[in-house]
Amino acid sequence: MKATLGIEAIGGIPQHFPKTGIEIIDTTFDPGPPRFWVARITGYYGTENFKREFLYGKRDYSKSNSKGTRGIFVWYVLESGGYYEVSSPHSWHSIERYFCKVSEDGEIVRVDRNEVDVWCMREVMRKAKEKRDGQRQQTNDGD
């Protein structure tokens, strides 16, 4: 099942104003990572961090204000069977980060980090078992 998640890109999509020279500043200084993003959790990176695959979203300007500073939404497609981490700005000064998954009914359900940790550990164990089974199969084929 799939679901769509919309995040307002508050202050996250750079605007270029040729008359003020802002485009020179934008190309000279890296503005840093965006404040909004969605990433699929793919496993562990090190001992405590998650490996993440960042998703590309589709921008929707239909509700944007005239300056493009509010009302721009980025829509992401999430699929069931995995877990996601979301960074969603609620204002210029507040960003909410959370984990979620897509239920079999196509609903986006928030989950806690413990549930994601348990899933990651199961994935690590499953992949290790597949690797061992594959090595055993190669050994048996060689006899």
| The pLDDT of residue 124 is above 60 | yes
pLDDT band at 60 (very low <50, low <70, confident <90, very high): very high
Measured CA distances, 114 to 24, 54, 89, 117 (Å)? 45, 21, 23, 5
Q: Which amino acid is at 64?
A: S
pLDDT score recorded for residue 90: 86
Measured CA distances, 44 to 59, 81, 100, 126 (Å)? 30, 17, 17, 13
pLDDT digits (tens, 9 = 90+) for 17-51: 555 555 555 555 555 557 899 999 998 887 678 99
Q: What angle do CA 113, 110, 69 make, to 5 degrees?
A: 105
Per the model's pLDDT, the better-predicted residue between 94 and 100 turns out to be 100
Per the model's pLDDT, the better-predicted residue between 1 and 124 turns out to be 1
Mean pLDDT of 82-90: 93
Query: How far, in Å, CA of 9 to CA of 2, rounded?
Result: 22
